[in-house]
Structure 1
Amino acid sequence: MGPGHLVAQAPDRAEAHLAALTPPRRTARTSKAPSGSAPSADPHGAFARPVPHPPGDLRHLRPVSARLHPVHGCTACTHLLTVLDVTLPSPVTDRRAALKARSRQAILAAADALLRERGDAQFSVDELAARADVARRTVFNHFDSLDDVVLSTCTARLNEVIHEVQTVASTTPVGDGSRSAMFDELALTLRGADLPEAITYLAGALGPLAEGNDPRAVVLAQEAFSRVADHLSGELVRRYPVADALDVQLLVSSLVHGVAVIALHWCTTTDPAAPDARAAWDSLVDRLIDSVRAGYMPER
């Protein structure tokens, strides 16, 4: 066996290998070819026998892809070869995103726990990182400063408060749709929501920021009451679609912004940890409701 034979056989073996990977084509049955006829020229023939190449004929040395079909660049050839180039998406990106989300959530949960334990935001980045079980640099990978962590935690707590107020409002019995009935429903909502705990939490967290003239603390406090008012107004409109929109807004705004006033008064005059702190809050809520209900007409 000479060297020329080895050169001629290597491409044929490669072609046979690719043919084995290609599904067989369905062909119509034909009658048996007469004896002595030339073998089929179909390059996909499963039983095609190799044809010896005459000396000097180098066509058999063309790339296998060019010899599969007579038509250069046909669909079957290009599809067969590009299958090897198909790549599946790597899950590395998804794992990194999930790890990043878990780290951020751990930092927020640690800040929430420290705020509840201490009643204020007087903790360091090192303490926060240790509680979250992350590196110090990981904290700054997610937040620009410790104040940003506190503000993000307060925003999450605010969402919980709004959800609680919505739940209480949605379970309040429906009245007849009059202004007095809507007022009674709002009064029940304010009495039923656990606002003192949330007010203590937000005041302790945002107090140092407000004392440092950080405008973000003021904006977040304003946003808190505005969002509560929006959700309460939406609940009343959902219950009473024919109610006057201006009446609803005036009613809700007077009570919610009154809550903002008594919240500030309660925080500055009452120790939230005192045994009678909740009773003091309930008394302020009753005073607010009575004042808004009766108005400021001359006493008889």
Structure 2
Amino acid sequence: MTSGQWWIVALSEQLAPGKTLAVVCDGVQVALFRSAEGEAFALEDRCPHRRVLLSPGQVRPGGLQCPYHGWTFDGTSGRCTDIPNLRRDEKIPPAAARAYPVAELNGFLHVYSGSGEAQEALPGAGYQAAGREFTGSAVTAVAFEDYLDVMLDGPECLLDFPGVTITDFFIGDPRRDGGYLVLDRGAVWKGRGLGPAFVRDHPLLLRTRVPLAGGDVVVELLDAAEQALVTLFIAATRNRRGTTSLVWRGFAHGRAQTGPLGWRLHRLAGAAPFTVHAIVDGRAIAALEAAPSRERRGGGEASTRPVQETSHEYG
């Protein structure tokens, strides 16, 4: 792991009591497991004894048991607590797997990548669902930094909102808001009015909020009054071999029941108001002009004027 910060690595419902889950956090393989009592833990997915993966092991009262020789490691400290073939009078050697702090909030499992006590705010703290949620996870064949850049330069390559066309018209410049770069672009209802190249009064806005460090991305579909119709929270982290792990949660707000007939019928039918693409078009990404993302790569030296909303609660 390359930085000392919290990363979202999984959805809470992906880790059942007494089960394990193999994830990658900022490029490092991690074994998540949940005790029978419901507490989540994280160990580096490598046994210090013979270097085999811990994630296929069994959850025991004393921690996570390695599937190879049965050594058990405590989830909080990583310390070995049991070796099956030792006699009762034999001392357990000081073997330990690396343990990471875990925090669970708003349906997300966070792992802290740094050393020492983790005191930073959790990325998922600002997300509050205010409607029926739609969730998912994927590994996409786009490098982590490129994924964040494309979310600014061409989010239509990574996601879509059925019935909506995301245009290439930027509404204002990218702006810095704390540790994030925020960008608005115009959007239109499909089949309504002139084509995107000629639209001047956009009935919709797409707001992307991309971190300068970390991987918590917020995408909002807004009406012309900048009232949220859909909120989507995507947590990205660096996976291996140039790929990116994604988990997401999102929902349609109550006002999303307005709009064209097709959009309203989809909402009444309970259809997802967005799609996050696991498989992306590399040619479309390669054709994008690197424009807003230059601000992020340069450390966010964009306009410092604040975003219009004053709260980071997305519910």
TM-score using structure 2 length: 0.18
Q: Select the structure with the greater relative contact order (CA < 8 A; seq sep ≥ 6).
A: 2
TM-score using structure 1 length: 0.19
User: Which structure has more strand as a fraction of its residues?
Assistant: 2
User: Which structure has more helix as a fraction of its residues?
Assistant: 1
Bigger Rg, which one: 1
